[in-house]
Structure 1
Amino acid sequence: MTNSPRVLPLAAAAVTVVLWASAFVSIRSAGDAYSPGALALGRLLAGALTLGCFLLVRRAGLPPRAAWPGIVVSGLLWFGVYMVVLNWGEQEVDAGTAAMLVNIGPVLIVLLGSRLLGEPLPRRLPAGIVVSFAGAVAVGLSMSDEGHASVLGVLLCLLAAVGYAAGVVAQKPALRHAGALQVTTFGCLVGAVACLPFTGQLVDQAGRAPLSATLNMVYLGVFPTALAFTTWAYALARTTAGRMGATTYAVPALVVLMSWLFLDELPGALTLAGGALCLAGVAVSRSRPRTSGGAGAGSAGPATGGRPGRPGP
């Protein structure tokens, strides 16, 4: 009975991780037919329609006024900016590389969570930042001989990580006042409204795109957006932003496996090494110093009550 409150948030986080990993592969597949803004808008419209149906069935209604600042900010930065920039970045680098770079986000979440939400700051965060930055540099150098576009892709993925981190931290206070379904639905709507300038591109490209690309876009809206963002918000409401950020550790490994199986893509050795450094930096920033007893365990970071290095709520 004491563990039962942890089971559902853990399961929700696992669903999110798997579906978000698949999103990197679907974005890469649909990116040949859809421009970054059009793909983001189509994904958000499909997601908003799906979420809206669930909202009506559940009769959840409008979120309270106190939740709207967080919903609007997370909608603009995470559903809007993040999705457009990530789509653009994945047109320049492979899915596995993009996933490794975006997963610098948990370090940024811990920084922002400490500054804005008052969550504990891990002692090893500076070392983790240095390691992650070295990994990002290694990835950039590994791709620099492929032309400026690849370096641009690295920078876009890092910008996506900033949007993701800021969106998570903005979403956390909103979940104190509204349910996960409400926060996700209206955040998705805010992102869709922000992407409306791409309507012309979406209409034009949808008429010429192969069915597989359009189905990938719809899949992105229904599963990695509508379902996965809701399960994420459900778990986030029950733990800290920093700890939820750590649940994405597994995403790059899953993306590399999926992109190898479905896209026949595999990052080069130096790119993989740089991506591993990025993730190692996140792990270092989230780790706990060894202590002689259990008295100091609570000072290591936002994963209050958790075990060293164990992701998830």
Structure 2
Amino acid sequence: MTDSPASSRLALAAAGVTVVLWASAFVSIRSAGAAYSPGALALGRLLAGALVLGAVLLIRREGLPARGAYPGILISGLLWFGAYMVVLNWGEQEVDAGTAAMVVNIGPILIALLGARFLGEKLPPRLVAGMGVSFAGAVAVGLSMSGEGHASVLGVVLCLLAAIAYAGGVVAQKPALAHGSALQVTTFGCLAGTVACLPFAGQLIDEAGRAPLSATLNMVYLGVFPTALAFTTWAYALARTTAGRMGATTYAVPALVVVMAWVILGELPGLLTLAGGALCLAGVAVSRSRPKPVKATAGSADAAPARLRGRAEAELPDKGKV
């Protein structure tokens, strides 16, 4: 079934909300990550997100999703909400932000490939070309942000694992949305990730007592907005398009991070950073564009069958005559 233009616009707006909030998460992680260890930060973020999502679910009285949604919810919860957050937090302590951004941005490419393999999604030329342009932009942004001497093999491996977990979680979530609403799938996925991170509860309690208020507030912000709200708007948009196109949309995140770091942190971007951000946005535009329908003209090949049908119908005997 094809969505109406209004529904398509809502899905695009939801995707926009997601990428803006996910971009803002990088600024908050820099503050919270200085006071909280990777596992504790992930658990605190997920707890805040689960509380908000659970409250909204009760208010809306949506109840439980259908049974068919649970495999996808469980897999996406463990991979994306759980493993991805912990491994990425850990990886960013081992490598600089630029290197982490370059490696993690393999994720959208993996999403497109896994979507084609397991979901039967097509890889149209515009999507492939747009992702190539965006990935080149992400590499440019990463190179411009990379610091000297702050990278390790462990950090690169961790960021690669984060990209794989992210891609696997997205592809697993897509079929679950056929059996449950965006809110249901997000809420129970967040709960699954929270349960998986409970072994870090002791660290969270210990570190929360020593962490500055600003770090704790940033952790709560990560749970309420980039997790509870952004993951829900993501699921809403994902239910209305392919996993590959949604993955390509996240290439707008590096460009937005550059702008936010400039405005909020006063970090003036260099020319390479600006060029990379522009490439990221250009690639997203290409990947989400659709080819214009070709109009058949009187002399075109597409019009020939119509002419032949008209001629054949004219040669048929009149049904009213015996």
CA distance in 1, matches of 2:180, 2:218: 30
Residue 66 of structure 2 corresponds to 64
CA gap of 1:152–1:263, structure 2 versus 1, over 3 A, is farther
1:256 shift after superposition: 1.7
From 247, 256, 259, give the equivalent of 1:257.
259
Question: After the TM superposition, which residues 149-164 of structure 1 pair with which residues of structure 2 at under 5 Å, given as runs?
Answer: 149=152, 152-164=154-166
Question: After the TM superposition, which residues 201-220 of structure 1 pair with which residues of structure 2 at under 5 Å, given as runs?
Answer: 201-220=203-222
Kept in 1: contact 2:42–2:82 (CA 8 A): yes
CA distance in 1, matches of 2:137, 2:58: 47
CA distance in 1, matches of 2:61, 2:122: 37
From 62, 86, 104, give the equivalent of 1:84.
86
1:167 shift after superposition: 0.7
Residue 30 of structure 1 corresponds to 32
From 113, 116, 126, give the equivalent of 1:114.
116
Q: When the two structures are superposed, what TM-score results if normalisation uses the length of structure 1? A: 0.80
Paired amino acid for 2:221 = Y
Q: Secondary structure at the match of 2:36?
A: coil
CA distance in 2, matches of 1:261, 1:165: 30
CA distance in 2, matches of 1:30, 1:261: 19
Residue 229 of structure 1 corresponds to 231
Kept in 2: contact 1:69–1:174 (CA 8 A): yes
State the 4+ residue runs in structure 1 displaced beyond 2 angstroms.
89-104, 121-145, 151-159, 259-270, 272-295
1:14 shift after superposition: 1.0
Q: Secondary structure at the match of 1:184?
A: helix
CA distance in 1, matches of 2:131, 2:23: 23
1:184 shift after superposition: 0.2
1:162-189, Cα deviation, whole Å (9 max, x unpaired)? 2111111000000000001100000000
CA distance in 2, matches of 1:259, 1:92: 21
Q: Secondary structure at the match of 1:11?
A: helix
Kept in 2: contact 1:128–1:284 (CA 8 A): no
CA distance in 2, matches of 1:236, 1:104: 19
1:269 shift after superposition: 7.4
Residue 300 of structure 2 corresponds to none
Question: After the TM superposition, which residues 1-313 of structure 1 pair with which residues of structure 2 at under 5 Å, given as runs?
Answer: 3-95=5-97, 98-123=100-125, 125=128, 132=135, 143=146, 145-149=148-152, 152-265=154-267, 272=273, 279=280, 286=287
1:231 shift after superposition: 0.6
1:214 shift after superposition: 0.1
CA gap of 1:91–1:35, structure 2 versus 1, over 3 A, is same
CA distance in 2, matches of 1:181, 1:11: 16
1:257 shift after superposition: 2.0
Paired amino acid for 1:14 = G
Aligned residues: 293
1:96 shift after superposition: 5.6
Q: Kindly, what percent of the aligned residue pairs are identical?
A: 69
Paired amino acid for 1:206 = A
Paired amino acid for 1:173 = P
Q: Secondary structure at the match of 2:46?
A: helix
Residue 298 of structure 1 corresponds to none
Who wins on radius of gyration, i.e. which is larger? 2
Kept in 2: contact 1:13–1:235 (CA 8 A): yes
Paired amino acid for 1:146 = G
Kept in 2: contact 1:16–1:224 (CA 8 A): yes
1:258 shift after superposition: 1.7
CA distance in 1, matches of 2:238, 2:270: 34
1:193-234, Cα deviation, whole Å (9 max, x unpaired)? 110111111011000000000000000000000011001101
CA distance in 2, matches of 1:219, 1:22: 10
Coordinate RMSD, CA, aligned? 3.5
CA distance in 1, matches of 2:269, 2:277: 12
CA gap of 1:264–1:85, structure 2 versus 1, over 3 A, is farther
Q: When the two structures are superposed, what TM-score results if normalisation uses the length of structure 2? A: 0.78
Segments of 5+ residues of structure 2 without an aligned counterpart are 297-322
